[in-house]
Amino acid sequence: MFIKHFVRILTREELPDQDVIVFFDIVQSVVPTKVLTAYDEEKVRVGVEVMAYTSEDNEGDMWIYEIILESQIDEEEGDEISQELAIEFEEMDFSFEASVEV
């Protein structure tokens, strides 16, 4: 069974590249061992990505920035990421989500 672990922020406006980097840096600083790392055939690290895509709901367009994780974050890690995002992006309206196994 495939389970996708992730953290993501949802906004009503597209983020500048620098803000996407800040989001990634915050997640990596809290859960560095859980951020999915890809390797090529020669076992060389080829990087980690923040996937960006759009969606919409009843309130309009949404921009979603998602980081795939090796494993689920726990409640304390989620709270810490959320608090750091709130400080960094205090003037921006956003939602923070994390995957949960049920």
Look at residue 53 and tell me if it is in a domain: yes
Give residue 17's domain range.
Answer: 11-73+82-94
Give how many domains the chain has, as a whole number.
1
62 within some domain: yes
pLDDT confidence tier of residue 4, bands split at 50, 70 and 90: confident
CB atoms within 10 A of CB 95: 13
Q: 60 vs 14, 54, 71, 83, 101, CA distance in Å? A: 13, 11, 31, 26, 28
Within a domain: 6: no
| Res 100: pLDDT | 76
pLDDT at residue 34, rounded to an integer: 86
Q: Are 31 and 73 in contact (CB under 8 A)?
A: yes
- Over residues 29-57, the pLDDT tens digits come to 999 888 876 656 666 655 668 999 999 99
pLDDT tens digit string along 7-30? 999 999 999 999 999 999 999 999
pLDDT at 1 over 90: no
The answer to whether the beta carbons of residues 71 and 34 sit under 8 Å apart is yes
Asked if residue 99 belongs to a domain, the reply is no
Q: Is residue 56 part of a domain?
A: yes
Q: What is the pLDDT of residue 41?
A: 66
On whether residue 101 sits in a domain, the answer given is: no
Give the pLDDT of residue 40.
60
